Structure 1
């Protein structure tokens, strides 16, 4: 199966290893992975800030950079949601309407693609420790991804998934919100981390690097004994030992 990989801006700039691990994961699942080095942003930051004309220009480039006749997979529910939902505002009834609809039907968040399209949940990963899973807002509310990451993580050798009271509470990250309402944003991150620490988790795992970036910044500032990991990095952990 041919798959095109979309690497979001934050992963490209901050977590490049997650992109490489996504490729390894898809290849292990039997996919032929293609990466277009000309790809850039999906346009979400401009869209969320209200600059729809600028977002549309970026979106048109995105439509040009990716095929609309094969699967496109992204290790990010946030960016996947932008394509599936935000592009409705930008391209409905435009000359790019049909191209947009085709791409929208073919783009998937990584865990959703592995579980629901490829029907694969076990990848031989090993990570000793305990973890809580953080549902990102877009993963849960706009991509309808909830059980898929948990099914994958339950197959990781040595990893204990812990329950917390509010796994679905927002981490507080959105670029303009984080800047304009820093105090509220920080308090939201603190709430998520406190419940993970109280559960004695070693890791906070999520499908979205933006959530992890927000949470890790708070962890680093307060020197807390917990780490964040993207699900792609977890699912490729321990492969050298197999």
Structure 2
């Protein structure tokens, strides 16, 4: 099966090592991976800020670049949620583009959902290979959880990789990032992430694992700024691939 890998802006620009972990996982699942060189942003920041013209242009670009693949895999519930649930809104006034997106949408998957429900991966590269000695806790990103139903999948895969998950209090609660929300409402965002960081620390886990780099950067940044230099913050792809 040919899989188009949409690596997201944040991974491409800030943590490319996560992208290589994703490729390792998809190769282990027997996929033929294609990474379109001209891919850019999914358009979520523009859409969330009310710039429908820019968001629509990026949506069209995404569809043109990825509609030819058997599946599209995105290692981000946020970007995946935007593509699957909001592109149809952007194309609602154009029957031709709407039809193209409706044909593509069922083939777009968040990474752990794809590994668990589509390819049903049997052997993970990270089984017994991670430098994780104790339990981890898992943060459910808002979009992945509420728009894509991603919750069971990452936990089941972590268990398969031999990693114990110890749930924190309010693991389904927002970390306060929310893209442009954290810029517009900085004080509110900081209060939310402070509560999330406390719940992570109170869990006693050595690391927090999650599936969105935006949440990851927000949580890790706040932990470090408040003096916590020991709690590890890891993308689920890194753990499943044995790169943690």
TM range, smaller chain: over 0.9
The answer for the alignment partner of 2:72 in structure 1 is 72
Structure 2: which 5+ runs fail to align?
A: none
The answer for the alignment partner of 2:107 in structure 1 is 106
The answer for the alignment partner of 2:61 in structure 1 is 61
Is residue 2:44 matched to residue 1:40? no
Is residue 2:168 matched to residue 1:164? yes
**TM-score (norm. length: structure 1):** 0.94
Segments of 4+ in structure 1 off by > 6 A? Answer: none
The answer for the alignment partner of 1:196 in structure 2 is 200
The answer for the alignment partner of 1:2 in structure 2 is 2
The answer for the alignment partner of 1:146 in structure 2 is 151
How big is each residue's C-alpha offset from its partner over 1:107-137, in whole Å with a ceiling of 9 and x where there is no partner? 0000000000011254141332321010000
Contact 1:121 1:152 in 2 (8 A): no
Higher mean alpha-carbon deviation, 90-99 vs 186-195, is at 90-99
Question: What is the aligned length?
Answer: 238
Report the alpha carbon displacement of residue 167 of structure 1 after superposing the two structures with TM: 0.5
Report the alpha carbon displacement of residue 238 of structure 1 after superposing the two structures with TM: 5.8
Write the mapping of 1:159-238 to structure 2, written as runs, cut at 5 A: 159-224=163-228, 225-237=230-242
Distance 2:37 2:89 in 1: 27
Distance 1:89 1:162 in 2: 38
**TM-score (norm. length: structure 2):** 0.93
Contact 2:8 2:74 in 1 (8 A): yes
Contact 1:68 1:99 in 2 (8 A): no
Structure 1: which 5+ runs fail to align?
A: none
RMSD: 1.4
Write the mapping of 1:84-99 to structure 2, written as runs, cut at 5 A: 84-94=84-94, 95-99=96-100
Distance 1:86 1:98 in 2: 14
